[in-house]
Copies of this chain bind each other. A is one copy, B any other.
Amino acid sequence: MNPIVVAIHGGAGTISRASMTPDREAAYRAVLAASLAAGHAVLAADGGAVDAVLAAVRVMEDSPLFNAGRGSVFTAEGRNEMDAAIMDGRTRAAGAVAGVTRVKNPILAAHAVMRRSAHVLLAGDGAEHFARAQGIELVDPEYFRTDERWAQLERARAADRVALDHDGAAEAEGGERKFGTVGAVALDRAGNLAAGTSTGGMTNKRWGRVGDSPLIGAGTYADNETAAVSATGAGEFFIRAVAAYDVAARMRFAGATLAGAAEATLRESVEPLGGRGGLIALDRHGNVALPFDTEGMYRGVVRDDGVPRIDIYRPESPEN
């Protein structure tokens, strides 16, 4: 019988112990544990990898702590524009949405695009119309408004700059510098892989900027033959490095191991461009790699035994 595995991330960046209170850390760990438990429950009941990814990502989208869904950051216009993608490693079917503003769980809209349209990527109002037509839950934009994110926008506006993902400006003030974004990868009992990513983008962003998260091959990719990958980091660099598919391509064409490929993608493909961040990768044998080149990355893994293993800081976990 195949092993079952779920691995997740809740963003990478400057997450130092000094800037974290025990209560805040406990809150992050609780959501990460709940996310892993949700994904594991699907797989333990012989559910599929795609459904496990949806379950795990939804928990993080529903939390105000992560820059995705409920906790999304604000654009320069004071809106929340969210992106998400999902890919099925068995069929390489994929779906994604970019710039949705009222979809409660963007990962579910991405899934609807994959399952119920002939398309892969839908953007803006059109994506929202599609989601509504598919019965995906929409909410008042006020739902996404958290005081912390609004304060981040006001600080970013004051500094007149774009903050990458859910921080940047804030951290200049001693907070954490973090690339928001959440993601999950899963391996089910049938040996199928899936990957999903969801993000609220960048604080104070303008011009309809789309990052790597909803772009298949950049922030999200899955193929049973190689790996399921979800990335987090400075999105533009991950796009230019085609980072998620770069992991798979190193395995497919160069025979790299999962760990070797994941590490090499960061070191040899993303870093030479000047980019930083992290990614989670999982292969069909259940190998997991969670490399990052930032100070920390919210991350966790659960296997058959259902015991969640969660890390935030360096050093990277042994499994890495």
Q: Are A253 and B242 CB-contacts (below 8 A) given A122-B208, A123-B208?
A: no
Asked if A99 is at the interface (CB within 8 A of a chain B CB), the reply is yes
Per the bound structure, the CA–CA distance linking A162 and B221 in Å amounts to 26
Chain B residues with CB below 8 A from A120, complex form:
235-236, 239-240
Per the bound structure, the CA–CA distance linking A241 and B252 in Å amounts to 13
Q: Are A124 and B123 CB-contacts (below 8 A) given A92-B240, A93-B240, A240-B94?
A: yes
A212 to chain B, nearest CB (A): 8
Asked if A126 is at the interface (CB within 8 A of a chain B CB), the reply is yes
> Contact flags (1/0) for A100-140 with B, using CB distance below 8 Å?
00000000000000000111111111110110000000000
Asked if A17 is at the interface (CB within 8 A of a chain B CB), the reply is no
Chain B residues with CB below 8 A from A41, complex form:
none
B123 and A210 within 8 A (CB):
yes
Across the two chains, which residue of chain B brings its CB closest to A243?
A: B217
A240 and B216 within 8 A (CB):
yes
A126 and B207 within 8 A (CB):
yes
Q: How large is the interface on A (under 10, 10 to 19, 20 to 34, 35 or more residues)?
A: 35 or more
Asked if A249 is at the interface (CB within 8 A of a chain B CB), the reply is yes
Across the two chains, which residue of chain B brings its CB closest to A245?
A: B242
B245 and A253 within 8 A (CB):
no
Chain B residues with CB below 8 A from A123, complex form:
98-99, 123-124, 208-210
Asked if A228 is at the interface (CB within 8 A of a chain B CB), the reply is no
A139 to chain B, nearest CB (A): 20
Per the bound structure, the CA–CA distance linking A125 and B245 in Å amounts to 29
Chain B residues with CB below 8 A from A93, complex form:
240
A242 and B216 within 8 A (CB):
yes
Known A120-B236, A125-B208, A217-B218; 13 more pairs at CB < 8 Å: A98-B210, A119-B236, A122-B208, A123-B123, A123-B124, A123-B210, A124-B208, A126-B208, A127-B208, A129-B207, A216-B218, A216-B239, A217-B242
7 residue pairs of the A-B complex, CB under 8 angstroms, read A120-B236, A123-B123, A215-B215, A216-B239, A217-B239, A242-B242, A245-B249
Which 4 pairs between the two chains have the least Cβ-Cβ distance?
Answer: A126-B208, A217-B242, A249-B249, A253-B253
